[in-house]
């Protein structure tokens, strides 16, 4: 979709910082150095930060710069450029000397299963407890031993 860098060079290859897995989709590898800056960027429609929404697929040091791969909640999101610019600005404030490249992609598509527990709480989505049916201790006594109904 969009790949931009603040220095005009093509984006470097993405090298994940870790192998931490998300709920669904590609592996999420966000270098711990970047989490505070990325978490300061909120989705303007939902009011939840881009990390908790699962919009950031990866953020890592790439050479002397920072490379971020992210997505939007919809391929036709009108806020794509604005969010990419906010991510770039947030990282520049924390790392002023490092060039920042933000690649906005749509493959794989975003899904609500990528939202973290903190994001779900912010949205008011209550997580259902693990509900398992209780084991029946005995069959209901509607039939007698001879097969006739009581």
Residue 119 lies in a domain: yes
pLDDT for 2 beyond 70: no
For the chain, the domain total comes to: 1
The answer on pLDDT for 55 being more than 80 is yes
Question: Distance of alpha carbon 129 from its chain centroid, rounded?
Answer: 22
Distances (CA, A) of 87 to 35, 38, 80, 98, 142: 11, 6, 11, 14, 65
Residue with token string 């527990």: 117
| The pLDDT of residue 63 | 84
Choose the weakest-confidence range: 12-21, 48-57, 63-72. 12-21
Q: Has residue 46 been placed in a domain?
A: yes
pLDDT at residue number 93: 96
Q: Give domain status of residue 45, yes or no.
A: yes
Is the per-residue pLDDT at 27 higher than 50? Answer: no
Model pTM score: 0.66
Residue 135 lies in a domain: no
Residue 15 lies in a domain: yes
Name 56's bridge partners.
Answer: 70
Nearest-angstrom CA–CA distance, 66 and 91: 8
Within-domain flag for 60: yes
73 belongs to a structural domain:
yes
- The set of residues, in sequence order, having a beta carbon less than 8 Å from that of 93 and lying 6+ positions away, is 37
107-123: average pLDDT: 89
Cα 68 to Cα 1: distance, rounded to the nearest angstrom: 14
- Confidence at residue 24, expressed as pLDDT on a 0 to 100 scale: 45
Residue 34, domain CATH: 3.30.300.130
Of 47, 107, 98, the C-alpha closest to 71 is: 107
- b/e map 54-74, b = 16+ CB within 10 Å: bbbbbbbbbeebbbbbbbbbe
Q: What is the extent of the structural domain holding 85? A: 2-123
> How far does Cα 134 stand from its chain's mean position?
35
């Amino acid at each position: 979709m969009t790949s931009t860098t603040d220095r005009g060079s093509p984006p470097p290859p993405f090298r994940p910082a870790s192998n931490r897995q998300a709920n669904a989709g590609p592996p999420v590898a966000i270098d711990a150095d970047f989490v505070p800056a990325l978490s300061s960027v909120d989705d303007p429609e939902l009011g939840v930060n881009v990390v908790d929404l699962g919009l950031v697929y990866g953020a890592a040091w790439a050479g002397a710069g920072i490379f971020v791969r992210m997505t939007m909640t919809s391929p036709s999101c009108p806020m794509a450029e604005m969010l990419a610019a906010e991510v770039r600005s947030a990282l520049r404030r924390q790392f002023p000397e490092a060039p920042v490249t933000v690649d906005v992609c749509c493959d794989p598509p975003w899904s609500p299963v990528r939202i973290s527990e903190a994001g779900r709480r912010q949205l008011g989505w209550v997580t259902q407890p693990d509900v398992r049916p209780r084991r029946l201790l005995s069959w209901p006594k509607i039939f007698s031993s001879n097969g006739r109904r009581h």
